[in-house]
């Protein structure tokens, strides 16, 4: 089994299944914090899918997109934690 077969038949289905499970948590999350964490994990899984696709198609340009998406996800999480901190200080 070559690397491409392993990526396509093992890693990609695991990523898709985990994305479905996290999407359920995103839809049913009881609090906003649960939904933000689920959204961050969905973006991380999406980055993994983009990386697998970049390796599968042998096009490294997609890795730049994955890196930018990771930076946006990180900044969104930091902004949400800042919002939660300020909201707790005010009341």
Average confidence (pLDDT) over 79-84:
90
Q: How many CB atoms lie within 10 A of CB 38?
A: 19
pLDDT at 1: 80
Q: What angle do CA 63, 67, 73 make, to 5 degrees?
A: 140
pLDDT surpassing 70 at residue 86: yes
Residue ranges of the domains in the chain? 3-90
- Residue whose entry in the numeric block shows the structure tokens 């959204």: 39
Q: 3-state DSSP helix/strand/coil percent for the chain, to nearest 5?
A: 90, 0, 10
pTM over the 0.95 mark:
no
Q: How far apart are CA 36 and CA 76, in angstroms?
A: 9
Rounded to 10 degrees, what is the CA torsion of 35, 37, 42, 43? Answer: 120
Average confidence (pLDDT) over 33-51:
94
């Amino acid at each position: 089994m070559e690397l491409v077969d392993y990526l396509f038949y093992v890693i990609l289905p695991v990523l898709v299944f985990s994305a479905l499970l996290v999407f359920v948590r995103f839809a049913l999350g009881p609090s906003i914090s649960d939904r933000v964490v689920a959204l961050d994990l969905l973006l991380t899984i999406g980055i993994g899918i983009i990386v697998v696709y970049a390796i599968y198609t042998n096009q490294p340009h997609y890795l730049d997109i994955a890196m930018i998406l990771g930076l946006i996800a990180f900044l969104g999480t930091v902004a949400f934690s800042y919002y939660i901190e300020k909201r707790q200080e005010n009341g």
